[in-house]
Chains A and B, each alone.
Chain A
Amino acid sequence: MSEVTWVKSERQLQRERLRRVRAVRSGTVATVSTIVFLGVLAAVVTNSPGWPRVQGAFFSPEAFAEAWPDVLDGFWTNVRIFLIAEPLILALGLLVALVRTLRAPVFFPLRALAVAYTDVFRGVPTLLVILLVGFGIPALNLQGAPRDEVTLGVIALTLSYGAYVAEVFRAGIDSIHPSQRAAARSLGLSHGKTMRYVILPQAWRRVVPPLLNDFVSLQKDTSLVSTIGVIEALRQAQIYASDKFNYTPYLAGALLFVLLTIPMARFTDHLAARSQRRRGQ
């Protein structure tokens, strides 16, 4: 090819100038409108008649500092419940989803059980499951049945969330094109090996975002176990609030939950980006 050097045409230079002007203009509009919006919101809230009382009750630095250690201490219980329940939920959900993929007639009872389980536990409110498990199992007086509230809370959350996660896994498995299955089976792979090596690894990538969504929800719902007597972050805040008539500890609790979910969201983004990079080499 002969030497061709590119000198930007007048037309292109003008086009680029116009683009810059537009970029600056839309940036300015976005900034100004954000500032105006936040300003108006702050003005409305702080000028409301009840603001001084709300400020005292919800935004008291002293109360925050005083309650923080106890709320944080309670929060570790939430984290503990979450960390134990999460792998259990994943295992249960995956198991139920896999049972539902079995087609052989001998597995009918198992399959029916899996369907019944997802139907029932997705229908019953999590709080109700926690109350039933938390008070019902100890009342059975069975030998070896757990009596510790945290364990009971973990069991209840696992049962409730396992049903949701099973459906997420099932949707992920169904989303893999049948041709992948045909290709694997035609190579002589059994149903189980096809699932393990071909379908699940692909489905897994697709279900990570909805799974994370369920787990963020689970992190919040760990506070529901306070109803069966577990002293966790919410309960600690409640104790403080009713003692001192100040709601700031609730805000401390809220802050802790948010601090936990944000890194989790970033972590998923990281995972997604990594698998994208790995495939794109």
Chain B
Amino acid sequence: MRHDRIEGGGEPGGGEREGPVLAVEGLWKNYHGTPVLRGIDLSVEAHEVVCLIGASGSGKSTLLRCVNLLETVDDGTIRLDGIEITDVRVKADDVRRRMGIVFQAFNLFPHMTVLDNITLAPRKVHGVARAEAEERARELLDRFGLAGKAGAYPDRLSGGQQQRVAIIRALAVRPRLMLLDEVTSALDPELVTEVLGVIRELKAGGMTMILTTHEMGFCREIADTVCFLDGGVLLERGTPEQIFTDPREPRTREFLKSVLDARRI
């Protein structure tokens, strides 16, 4: 296996450097006057996997969307490789091309084949030649067990296959950072495993990732750091071991208990 091909840092200037890949400081976000994120501080080191947990509406997805500049922030700063991306003079397109985001609902382009979905950004944003882009796409499809699906349209694939294509699509531009937003929440239980397998392999390849999930077992297994969000506040941060066995905050304990109870039913 050639893990170096997964790893980010393909962009000039985006290679190894001192300091965190991502640094969020004092981030606030309101929707119609209601605060959704309230002064979030978060830093992510290279090759670190950060898992955001918390109830629905706690702000996990909004945080990811802010990092991807799909939302404008109301206060605070976000730095990618030390450069402030929340600066209004920074072009959002330049920032986004250095990250990959994967959504709960896959959001594949239904009018394109799997291969075209994956090669669109490399070709049209990064100026990679078609042959080269397709070669890399096929390589990734191969690796993630979708070798025969290059010519298929998304609506012919299962949810798990679609989500794997969405992950490959985000990977194809060799991102510095991957954001995975509830990537298994829309899937039938028997399809979750195949998607989690892909994420495991990304971690093995050293990809820096932030993911939100309701799969606590998986979170515990894959995360280097677990962050618990509650009402837009990053309430607790620690290793999976610490958060899952000995949470400091009563709210964290409560949340984990309710999730575990739900699993038992």
Contact = CB atoms under 8 A, between A and B. Distances in A.
Interface stretch (A1-9, A196-204, A209-217, A223-231): A196-204
Interface in B130-178: 152-153, 155-156, 169-170, 173
Contacts of B32: none
Nearest to B125: A188
A94 B173 CA distance: 31
Closest 10 CB pairs of A and B: A188-B97, A183-B107, A187-B121, A188-B125, A186-B101, A188-B96, A179-B107, A279-B153, A201-B111, A202-B111
B221 interface: no
A201 B110 CA distance: 10
B124 A193 contact: yes
5 contacts: A182-B107, A184-B109, A187-B100, A188-B125, A189-B124
Contact of A179 (B103, B121, B125): B103
Secondary structure type dominating chain A contacts: helix
B75 to A, nearest CB: 23
Contact of A180 (B99, B109, B124, B169): B109
A182 B92 CA distance: 12
Contact of A198 (B70, B96, B109): B109
A281 interface: yes
Interface of A: 179-180, 182-190, 193, 197-198, 201-202, 205, 278-281
B109 A183 contact: yes
Given A179-B103, A197-B120, A198-B109, A186 B70 contact: yes
A176 to B, nearest CB: 10
B68 interface: yes
Contacts of B99: 186
A183 B167 CA distance: 12
Interface in B104-129: 105, 107-111, 120-121, 124-126
B156 A189 contact: no
Given A183-B107, A185-B70, A281 B93 contact: no
A189 B93 contact: yes
B107 A187 contact: no
Contacts of A182: 70, 103, 107
Contacts of B68: 186
Given A182-B70, A182-B103, A189 B111 contact: no
A201 B70 CA distance: 23
